[in-house]
Structure 1
């Protein structure tokens, strides 16, 4: 009688339970606009009684079993699979495929109330029940707006082979107004560039957060992020727990910068940053929970989402070096570098490196400073009586990476009171009168200056630039000192005679161009492919370096004039 009653209920359900205009909400979840009639609901008592009628599978151990868990429906696998699930406030309807004969088909359905962590009585269907009800299975007596873990197992024996398909789902019953909450409605994944109001052009932030106050009971949100960089990729995982509001990960990548100067005086720039290799970002999110009663994990996986990693633009100011000087300190000297930036707040650092040019094998002096903790002035101690090649390196770390280097030469004076400069100069100058033979055995003296590389810098490639002395030559003269060219000699007759024509080596009837007596030159050093120029010029008055005795003819004329004057006054 009980079996006949169940069959009668199934026949009535088959006639009356056709859904009208179902609304597809998400993947295989369906909302029915009309509630099923009471005649279509299988009571829990009837279901429990049917469970005891399940035949023993003792003899089935000799059969071959095929598991096709979580695979897409296939006509070649004689087993039923879930097509979609219709959701209501107090019931769900599981719609499945119909693959293979019904004679040996068995359906097993289990649900766990995740909020109460309570397993509902299982449902086992087979035999005559499936002849009329196969493909649509109603689970009644559920609670509205409640999360459930669903386990659906179908088993079919065909030609002596047992085919088994087991699927799990996370479902949520609708409200009584049939409003649906899909798993993805509980959380969101946000890709952004800024963090705490600051933008970093070389980083992308991914935040996983709950959308509202509702949390997923006894479970977490899992997100797998994949960054595609050319032919390779990298993967990061995120987990959001119910007691957390959000979780954020940081992804760093190499970028190309194109700087556009907006204000050269303030060093204001616009940085156009584009990814170097990484151009695509994808992620897969899922709700996941473990049911203690069913001893298995239930997961709802959302559709993979991808987006292109676009470039960004950031405006900021750069630090610039104002000047550098060498100052006296207690036991030597120090290099003082003054810098300036339009905004006080900056994340970056400055590194000063000084190498004693006379001791290139020694360790350089080096010090790194945080720009955010300084007043813009950076000092490095130096030894006295030395020549240093200096590297100033400025690195900006936020909101974009920027690095700049400047190189220069500095000299420290000797501690001796007799020296205001280094006793071992980079370029040595020697002034003298050089004997030259003119005509037949006539020897005259010519003023010359010999410029040579300092003896302490025998391994350095030194270049000097001499400012023009005379108006007829407005071009600076460049001299390079190498191992093959150790010195250079220049004649100074024109320069001296232009300023002191009475000198003994000057032509009394000659006409000389206008020249300056001040010889000025600057130096630079090339070391390991880097040029270190000096901003300071060395100057010397050549008329003070050469003995300027008047010629004999001038002295004689002067004496004769004095004698004549004395005779006239007698």
Structure 2
């Protein structure tokens, strides 16, 4: 704990200030007050001429609330006594308030000054003081953590506390706090009343933060926090005691503390997985058990088909979502760029972002049946042209089908790329990457190997020595928006299932033609 502790012991108030340290102001001011058991001597500066100078000194018994007869001097009466004023007939070991007022006219300019002091006379010789009537003991210190139960290590706090249980009613501490920064200083004035045990102020300032991960997969990070431009906090303290319409003060020397940096660790929430069920996106996150988390999670979804629309947005207070799963309702038949953002406020401000892409299929009723079929709202479509593989009776393609990957029409303006995987033992796309500079990218797939893996008896399969062990063509789509990559989930198209139905359908057509030909031949031969 950084701090400064003032323990006010028995005060004799005989401290003298060097007169040379007080800058000339053109009017008399108090330099210091020396006390004895039954008198005090007030020493002041002597600035300006004496002719129009007037000085008034008023002494108040702070304990009995009694005002002594004021001392008023002016003109010639100040020629001898100016700068040193004696107040006699005081009680030993007693507290008094001094009001000093000076007024002068210099070069036609009228100047006025007044100030107050709290003083205590010395006890009689050989005796120890027993009077603790004015006992302004307090402490002021700078710290990082909020002592009210918070753990904001990024904040800088100044705490002011009384150290005395008994305080004079109406008294208070007047504190001027200065924050010293590179190009500017900030000032805050606060009062600590006698009825308050203490107060804490948070000093707002910018910080430099170096964050590093702790152990892998531990969800833990470490932050080294240091002030960016501010280096020091200083404070001036006056103890103020109001008595009989005057505020008597005791000044304390200025104290300064360097603003130290700090190092702390904390656990953060991490995105573990996401999935789409119907038209609802579920985002699953995780943080170690028994770790309090008062952060905020936001989900934002930008419709890639309608880039000018406002994104769908939802904010969650993590504390009210204990299972760590956050949901977002989306519209069917669209692809979305999703931004997941996690903001941690304590013990320091920290945020993370994850970006990904999801596709929400649209359901529509088929015109020929009541079965629901998926509509093509995909970001990328796998297109076979012609859609039916026409095979001759000799087992050859009538027309070699063209297979391509095409961007969905409503996503034509998006910057889409695919990361492809090897298929059937070979690289289909050079570099395994597709950048859609055109809406469609052709694929050179080994169709004979695929078909012959399904229909080995076809004529064209006699010279095919091998087939595809895995007939799934897989790729991962990515959309680039404002230099941010939104990667979608890995997608696979099982060509065996897709083409098996087409081949079987074509084979049934050949069988039907042969059956019709046989019936016609039998009829004609009778």
TM-score range, shorter chain: 0.7 to 0.9
* Partners of 1:134 and 1:427 in 2: CA distance: 94
Say which SS state the counterpart of residue 239 (structure 1) adopts: strand
Other-structure match for 2:493: 539
Q: Does structure 2 conserve the Cα–Cα contact (< 8 Å) formed by 1:446 and 1:491? A: no
Other-structure match for 1:139: 88
Decide whether aligned partners of structure 1 residues 419 and 462 sit closer, same or farther in structure 2, where only a CA change above 3 A counts.
farther
Deviations 1:233-261 (A, max 9, x none): 32222111111111221122222221222
* Partners of 2:87 and 2:34 in 1: CA distance: 9
The total of aligned residue pairs comes to 475
**C-alpha displacement of 1:212:** 1.2
* Partners of 2:105 and 2:292 in 1: CA distance: 74
**C-alpha displacement of 1:201:** 2.7
Please report the TM-score for the alignment, with normalisation by the length of structure 1.
Answer: 0.71
Residue among 513, 523, 544 paired with 2:477: 523
Decide whether aligned partners of structure 1 residues 300 and 307 sit closer, same or farther in structure 2, where only a CA change above 3 A counts.
same
Deviations 1:212-232 (A, max 9, x none): 124355332111222233312
Residue among 140, 163, 171 paired with 1:219: 171
Residue among 128, 138, 142 paired with 1:187: 138
Decide whether aligned partners of structure 1 residues 443 and 506 sit closer, same or farther in structure 2, where only a CA change above 3 A counts.
closer
Residue among 191, 194, 219 paired with 1:267: 219
Q: Does structure 1 conserve the Cα–Cα contact (< 8 Å) formed by 2:10 and 2:129? A: no
**C-alpha displacement of 1:300:** 3.4
Q: Does structure 2 conserve the Cα–Cα contact (< 8 Å) formed by 1:156 and 1:163? A: yes
Other-structure match for 1:8: none
Q: Does structure 1 conserve the Cα–Cα contact (< 8 Å) formed by 2:93 and 2:131? A: no
Other-structure match for 1:345: 292
Decide whether aligned partners of structure 1 residues 455 and 124 sit closer, same or farther in structure 2, where only a CA change above 3 A counts.
closer
**C-alpha displacement of 1:524:** 1.5
Give yes or no for the alignment of 1:424 onto 2:377. yes
Residue among 382, 390, 394 paired with 2:342: 394
Decide whether aligned partners of structure 1 residues 100 and 378 sit closer, same or farther in structure 2, where only a CA change above 3 A counts.
closer
Give yes or no for the alignment of 1:241 onto 2:193. yes
Other-structure match for 1:20: none
Other-structure match for 2:408: 454
Give yes or no for the alignment of 1:304 onto 2:254. yes
Other-structure match for 1:491: 444
Say which SS state the counterpart of residue 60 (structure 2) adopts: strand
Other-structure match for 2:420: 466
**C-alpha displacement of 1:523:** 1.0
Q: Which has the larger radius of gyration?
A: 1
Residue among 60, 65, 70 paired with 1:112: 60
Summarize the alignment of residues 351-366 of structure 1 with structure 2, pairs less than 5 Å apart. 351-366=298-313
Deviations 1:56-105 (A, max 9, x none): xxxxxxxxxxxxxx99767996x765432223455433244677999998
Give yes or no for the alignment of 1:316 onto 2:260. no
Summarize the alignment of residues 478-517 of structure 1 with structure 2, pairs less than 5 Å apart. 478-481=433-436, 484-493=437-446, 495-496=449-450, 499=453, 502=456, 508-509=462-463, 516-517=470-471
Other-structure match for 2:31: 83
Q: Does structure 2 conserve the Cα–Cα contact (< 8 Å) formed by 1:28 and 1:85? A: no
* Partners of 2:400 and 2:493 in 1: CA distance: 21
Structure 1 range deviating more: 80-89 or 153-162: 153-162
**C-alpha displacement of 1:489:** 0.7
Other-structure match for 1:403: 351
**C-alpha displacement of 1:170:** 2.5
Say which SS state the counterpart of residue 194 (structure 1) adopts: coil
Structure 1 range deviating more: 202-211 or 181-190: 181-190
Decide whether aligned partners of structure 1 residues 312 and 75 sit closer, same or farther in structure 2, where only a CA change above 3 A counts.
closer
**C-alpha displacement of 1:411:** 1.9
Say which SS state the counterpart of residue 86 (structure 2) adopts: strand
Decide whether aligned partners of structure 1 residues 76 and 339 sit closer, same or farther in structure 2, where only a CA change above 3 A counts.
closer
**C-alpha displacement of 1:301:** 3.4
Decide whether aligned partners of structure 1 residues 355 and 174 sit closer, same or farther in structure 2, where only a CA change above 3 A counts.
farther
Say which SS state the counterpart of residue 363 (structure 2) adopts: coil
* Partners of 1:232 and 1:76 in 2: CA distance: 27
* Partners of 2:420 and 2:225 in 1: CA distance: 44
CA RMSD of aligned residues (A): 4.3
Summarize the alignment of residues 28-107 of structure 1 with structure 2, pairs less than 5 Å apart. 29-30=13-14, 82-88=30-36, 90-96=38-44
**C-alpha displacement of 1:408:** 1.1
Other-structure match for 1:381: 329
Q: Does structure 1 conserve the Cα–Cα contact (< 8 Å) formed by 2:12 and 2:120? A: no
Other-structure match for 1:38: none
Residue among 311, 326, 329 paired with 2:276: 326
Q: Does structure 2 conserve the Cα–Cα contact (< 8 Å) formed by 1:390 and 1:408? A: yes
Q: Does structure 2 conserve the Cα–Cα contact (< 8 Å) formed by 1:262 and 1:269? A: yes
* Partners of 2:135 and 2:490 in 1: CA distance: 69
* Partners of 2:417 and 2:265 in 1: CA distance: 40
Q: Does structure 2 conserve the Cα–Cα contact (< 8 Å) formed by 1:238 and 1:247? A: no
